Structure 1
Amino acid sequence: MSQAEAVKLQPRPLRVMELVMKLIFLICGLISVGFVLFISLYLIVSGLPAILTIGPVEFLFGTTWASTAAEPQFGILPFILTSVYGTAGAIVLGVPVGFLAAVFLSKVAPKRISRVIRTAVELLAGIPSVVYGLIGMMVLVPAVRELFHLPDGASLFCAMIVLAIMILPTIISVSETALNAVPKEYEEASLALGATEIETYFRVSVPAAKSGIASAVVMGIGRAIGEAMAIIMVAGNVANMPSLFASVRFLTTAITSEMSYAGVGSLQQQALFSIGLVLFLFIMLINILLNTFLKGKREK
């Protein structure tokens, strides 16, 4: 019996309800797509004029940002490189810790301990970003300044650490869910063949859950790229070329720090919208590349 025939055999109220639910789902999907299209169109309309006025090459590859100078300059290459380095550093620091913590919670930890740690992870996810920034500014920045004998501890290094901590809850939760979804038969077959528990976890369970773990990394990258409030408090917010122990400014913090006093309709405000457009395209490009890479891996 086909699906269409099965639907016809249903009572009329059920068929009406099914049609209504399908319509609701369709509307929700269209609303989601509509929001993405609206944001994309708004950023293009608001940000493209500044790029054309300044010049794409000068805007994207210029190394000086002086938006309030007598002769303003709008080069955002330092912001782009800082965002790339900061996100990469956060992933390098946060992904191994989050991944191993997820394996521990899913496969190794006793139930009581895993319950306590899981609760702590959930609380970590609920802490506002401004609190991360405040603690980083009051604790981490002075510690880095004293440890490395720097004139100012606010730096790219501090931003990497704060971002790494902030992406941990996402990576741990999503990776643990993926590991818990692996059928127990896989592990039992591996153990029956003589593999140890640790070998089974890393050679059977983890490969079986790699799609979910990869999704966790993608979500962590999105969180790290889009963060602004915590970073502006620990990175120093100075438009320098990126250096590990120098004050820097990210794409997000560049918008946050100047939008409040930028003149309405001014070139400065339009340039800030252009930064938002670059950030939006940057995030879209990373998602497309990662999804293409993961899809290729699944097909193999």
Structure 2
Amino acid sequence: MSAARAHLALPHGEVPLPAFLPDATYGVVRALDASDVGDCRVSAVMMNVFHLMQRPGSTIIKRFGGLHRLFGWERPIITDSGGFQAYSLIRQNPKLGSLTDDGLIFRPEGSTRKINLSPEKSVQLQIRYGADVVICLDDCTHVQESIEAQRESVRRTIKWAKRCKQEYLRWLDAEESLNSPRRLIFAVIQGGGQLELRRQCAEELLAIGFDGFGFGGWPLDAKGNLLTEVIAYTRELVPREFPMHALGVGHPRHIVECFRLGYDLFDSAMPTRDARHGRLFVFEPEEPLNPSTGNWFSYLYIQDERNIRSDKPLSSTC
């Protein structure tokens, strides 16, 4: 299924759809500089406000005039809000912080520092940092959590989204009325594996009004398989004119499957993390992109004895 839009028009350029965004969590794609990423014809990168506010920190980012100047990247930047970090750090280890209707409080392990992130602050930081797409703070869950936890996540995600939208409009009125194209704001649809909660969340967020939406929550089951039914259902809840971001989806087979279901944007640290550890994805140009087989790509372990001694290209497509 093709994407509903041909591209996203953003302040720092257009992003052709579909697009995979490498994660530049702390402002850079690890082991690469901005020119390397640009040479790979990457149209945009994904950064994370929760991590950026800690390192390098808002003072440094402001001093250098925003993320684009600080990291030498001239193309669009999408910033995640910190919702997934609330799940991965706080929900899985309550000693590190807490979640309330006011936002999240995080206490880094081994530090006396306390980090507060409200919906308003998340939007403020993303805009001050220069994000081309702002993502609302959301309350992320795992698909296996209880239905009570999923209901609370949906309720809080909707409440936070309303506050994020209000803060975004306040900044838009104050600073961006003359900018064209304007930066966009996306909301995240939660609900775990509960289809009715997914529907409720999507309907409420559509009523608030956003430029695009993300699939929220962990996208895999306990065996590492893509939650195809839930992901497909969530896409069908949103009219096709809105772009959809499969947040955290980065395995080639999963990207192809989510695109087939109607998703436009994908991001993950997995491909670059695998590459740093010597595992590469090699694509077979003669094979059709069939998500059910995966015969169109293979793994290449660059540190294997055979590959260490080889002077041939990694792939016939190189």
Normalising by the residue count of structure 2, what TM-score does the alignment of the two structures yield? 0.24
By relative contact order (CA 8 Å, sep 6+), the higher-ranking structure is 1
Q: Which has the higher strand share?
A: 2
Which is greater in Rg? 1
Q: Which has the higher helix share?
A: 1
